[in-house]
Structure 1
Amino acid sequence: MLGYDSALDVYRQALPVILVSLVAGLFAGTVLGTETMRDGIESVPGLLLLLPAFLATRGGVYGSLGARLSSGLHKGLIEPRFEWNDRLRNAVIASFLNGIIVSVFIAVLAWVVLLALGRSGNLLELVVILLVAALLSAVAMLGVLLTVVFKGYQHGLDPDNVIGPVVTTVGDVFGVAFLLVGVYVAGVVL
């Protein structure tokens, strides 16, 4: 009977988060389909090329952080309340840096692919766009992630059951929005 109770708990905890993720994902798709976003994507060669990789890495980098924090809570290595100890600080800094480094790599790779396809692209523009989007999405995602992990745990939720859909959804919603902000900033700066 323990397996049934455990499966029921997982379902009870994860279903509301998955439903919210579904609605937020539809919102992200709506934002992506707006004329402003289409114009932004069309104005920057290579942006559509790097979009899937950028969004996927948001989930990968910050999903790993969520799993690390969840494991730390379950093992008693991290206190079930938010406090900036060395373990938490190092995990957050590592995820932040990974997100930034991977984003720059994606910009460079997209530029190389553009060149290989015989198309022109502006490396500096792609790097600026992704740096802005990566920095803004990191701040937003870290805020949401830390809140969900610690507040959820304090309220009896297992972070393992909710962090995956939260990170994926927040990464998609903020990633798409902040790419558009990056396009705007690059247009002003460059």
Structure 2
Amino acid sequence: MGIREVATEAYREALPALAASVVGGLLAGVVLGGMRAELRAVAGLLVLVPALLATRGSVYGSFGARVSTGLHQGLVDHRNWLSDERLRRAALAALANGVAASAFAAVLAYLVLASLGAPVAPLPLLVGIALLAGLLSGTALTAVVVLVVFAGYRRGYNPDTLVGPIVTTTGDVFGMLFLLIAVRTTLAVAGVLGGGA
């Protein structure tokens, strides 16, 4: 296969995923633009947003790369992947890492903002939001990564080409959507607990 054929194949595989990534980024921006009330209600939340989104890309991009490598090396069976114990353990590890990294980002954001004397929400509120958002978006991202990698592999696509753009897109969209849900849920719970005190 010549250079031209390799380049054509690479573009054929990557362009749809990259186009989806651009659309997903715009959708995530729309969700962020609609979060004005939540950003005002939770001081420091805007500082936390980039850290949470970066966490999604790092953790689940790594997970997708491991799954892809497992497929290439024959360590993961693409026919019986639903019952693959190695895949199940990797998915649970990615989810645990994503939730832990979200909590760490919340604590770090709180400490940095507090040390700068900037307005910041109480630490339990920020951590609660980050944990819930991390759990919800992590569950969705784990499912999407596994489904896309195996579906692409069966159709003859290189999963390595799909993982980056798909994780970026779904991480941004699900990350912002579930962050909004987490903020509203956590504020509602805090309001109920505060009102009952």
Shorter-chain TM range is: over 0.9
The residue that corresponds to 1:176 in the other structure is: 176
Question: RMSD over aligned Cα, in angstroms?
Answer: 1.2
Is the 2:42–2:120 Cα contact (8 Å) retained in structure 1?
no
- Equivalent pairs, count: 188
Q: Say yes or no: does 1:106 pair with 2:105.
A: yes
What letter corresponds to residue 96 of structure 2 in structure 1? L
Give structure 2 stretches of 5+ with no counterpart: 191-197
Q: Report the CA distance shift for 1:78/1:3 in structure 2 as closer, same or farther (over 3 A).
A: farther
Note the alpha carbon deviations across 1:30-74, whole angstroms, 9 max, x for none.
Answer: 11112xx11111110111111101001101100001100111101
Is the 2:77–2:84 Cα contact (8 Å) retained in structure 1?
no
SS of the aligned residue for 1:80 comes to coil
Hey, what's the Cα distance between the residues in 1 that align with 2:189 and 2:123? 14
The TM-score, its normalising length taken from structure 2, stands at 0.91
What letter corresponds to residue 165 of structure 1 in structure 2? P
Listed as ranges, the matches of 1:21-170 within 5 Å are 21-34=21-34, 37-81=35-79, 82-118=81-117, 119-170=119-170
Hey, what's the Cα distance between the residues in 1 that align with 2:40 and 2:179? 13
The TM-score, its normalising length taken from structure 1, stands at 0.95
Give structure 1 stretches of 5+ with no counterpart: none
The alpha-carbon deviation at position 25 of structure 1 amounts to: 1.0
The alpha-carbon deviation at position 83 of structure 1 amounts to: 2.3
Is the 1:132–1:182 Cα contact (8 Å) retained in structure 2?
yes
SS of the aligned residue for 1:83 comes to helix
What letter corresponds to residue 31 of structure 1 in structure 2? V
Hey, what's the Cα distance between the residues in 1 that align with 2:121 and 2:16? 42
Q: Report the CA distance shift for 1:49/1:27 in structure 2 as closer, same or farther (over 3 A).
A: same
Q: What is the identity percentage for the equivalent residue pairs of Structure 1 and Structure 2?
A: 51
What letter corresponds to residue 37 of structure 2 in structure 1? D
